[in-house]
């Protein structure tokens, strides 16, 4: 099947300066959240190019966004070392979590949104209990030797990518940590396949790697894009038949997942770095964003 999500269908404008964070809403992925250097968060309907709402509260750049399982609340984190929990409908902050001493690069909910996980420049991963009114994290993981750049939850596992070149998978039920040495270069992004058996990892050596989660073995490497300085994200695309990544040269790169060959190079961001890429959970739709401050919606 060819890669069909290659036509820009709309451009979402509203941010002043680069966009650093991008996420679809949970479930059908009908809505989109973006956050950026301007400290603003915007809620969009990407299919109609409509901005629905805006949220302000962060004192520095917004670096990560995550939606709860029922989309009633979402979390944001940023350069102000804070995690905000927002009520989507009222636009107010429900909770504010502090404790990290460095910028917070990633936030993620567990399956029932009872726990929020954050990963920071301070090299820690912290767990926040959303059912209690506790101000302090219920758990802090301090295994990383350098900044935590990304976190993702899969079942009862938390995966944390770090600047130290490793992905640490914490099995919360068993209380164990598995470490995969991925690259000598800093890692910028980690994604888990739907069956949990593989993970996609981006690094500052300009390589996206597909790894076997059972043994840490390299299944495939995807190269050609530019990624040596910025936190460029990658994603599985179109029923996991393809891998997509942003690039510092302003293009979106698309590879065949199994063969590793380049399928497409998409241009839309005026030659400026594309750092965010997300693929719709249900539709053949993709959104990219980055240094030019726009979010581009791609479709058939």
What is the C-alpha to C-alpha distance for residues 118 and 97, in angstroms, rounded to an integer?
A: 10
Res 217: pLDDT: 96
Delimit the domains of the chain by residue range: 7-299
Residue 41 CA, distance from chain mean position: 15
pLDDT for 29 equals: 96
List C-alpha distances in Å: 10 to 5, 7, 46, 50, 77. 13, 9, 8, 10, 27
The pLDDT assigned to 300 comes to 78
Yes or no: say if 225 and 193 are a contact pair by the CB < 8 Å rule.
Answer: no
pLDDT at 184: 95
Whether 1 shows a pLDDT value over 80: the answer reads no
Average pLDDT, integer, range 139-158: 97
Categorize the per-residue pLDDT at 295 as very low, low, confident or very high, splitting at 50, 70 and 90: very high
pLDDT, residue 78, reads 98
Distances (CA, A) of 148 to 122, 152, 159, 166, 212: 7, 11, 10, 10, 21
Burial of 175 (0-12, 13-18, 19+ CB in 10 A): exposed
Render pLDDT for 202-243 as a digit per residue (tens, 0 to 9): 999 999 999 999 999 999 999 999 999 999 999 999 999 999
Which of 3.40.630.10, 3.30.70.920, 3.40.50.720, 2.130.10.10 would CATH assign to domain 7-299? 2.130.10.10
Nearest Cα residue to 41 out of 68, 70, 25, 61 = 61
* Per-residue pLDDT tens digits for 78-103: 999 999 999 999 999 999 999 999 99
Per residue, the 3-state secondary structure of 121-155, as one string, reads: CCCCEEEEECCCCCCCCCEEECCCCCCEEEEEEEC
- Other beta carbons within 10 Å of 212: 13
- Cβ pair 297, 48 in contact under 8 A: no
At 3 the pLDDT is 94
pLDDT tens digits, one per residue of 241-275: 999 999 999 999 999 999 999 999 999 899 999 99
Helix (H) or strand (E) holding 176: strand 176-181
């Amino acid at each position: 099947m060819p890669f069909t999500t290659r036509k820009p269908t709309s451009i979402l404008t509203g941010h002043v300066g680069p966009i650093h964070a991008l996420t679809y809403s949970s479930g059908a992925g009908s809505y989109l959240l973006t956050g950026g250097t301007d400290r603003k968060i915007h809620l969009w309907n990407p299919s109609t190019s409509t901005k629905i709402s805006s949220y302000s509260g962060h004192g520095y750049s917004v670096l990560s966004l995550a939606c709860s399982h029922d989309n009633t609340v979402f979390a944001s984190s940023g350069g102000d070392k804070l995690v905000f929990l927002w009520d989507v409908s009222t636009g107010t902050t429900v909770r504010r979590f502090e404790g990290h001493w460095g910028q917070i690069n990633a936030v993620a909910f567990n399956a029932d949104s009872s726990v929020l996980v954050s990963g920071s420049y301070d090299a820690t991963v912290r767990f926040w209990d959303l059912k209690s009114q506790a101000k302090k994290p219920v758990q802090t993981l301090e295994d990383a030797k350098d900044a935590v750049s990304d976190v993702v939850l899969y079942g009862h596992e938390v995966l944390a990518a770090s600047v130290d070149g490793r992905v640490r998978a914490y099995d919360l039920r068993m209380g164990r940590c598995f470490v995969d040495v991925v690259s000598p270069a800093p890692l910028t992004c980690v994604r888990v396949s739907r069956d949990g058996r593989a993970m996609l990892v981006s690094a500052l050596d300009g390589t996206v790697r597909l790894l076997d989660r059972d043994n840490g073995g390299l299944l495939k490497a995807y190269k050609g894009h530019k990624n040596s300085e910025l936190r460029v994200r990658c994603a599985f695309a179109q029923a996991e038949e393809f891998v997509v990544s942003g690039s510092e040269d302003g293009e979106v790169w698309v590879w065949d997942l199994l063969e590793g060959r380049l399928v497409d190079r998409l241009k839309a961001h005026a030659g400026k770095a594309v750092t965010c890429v997300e693929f719709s959970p249900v539709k053949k739709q993709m959104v990219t964003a980055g240094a030019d401050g726009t979010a581009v919606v791609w479709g058939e």
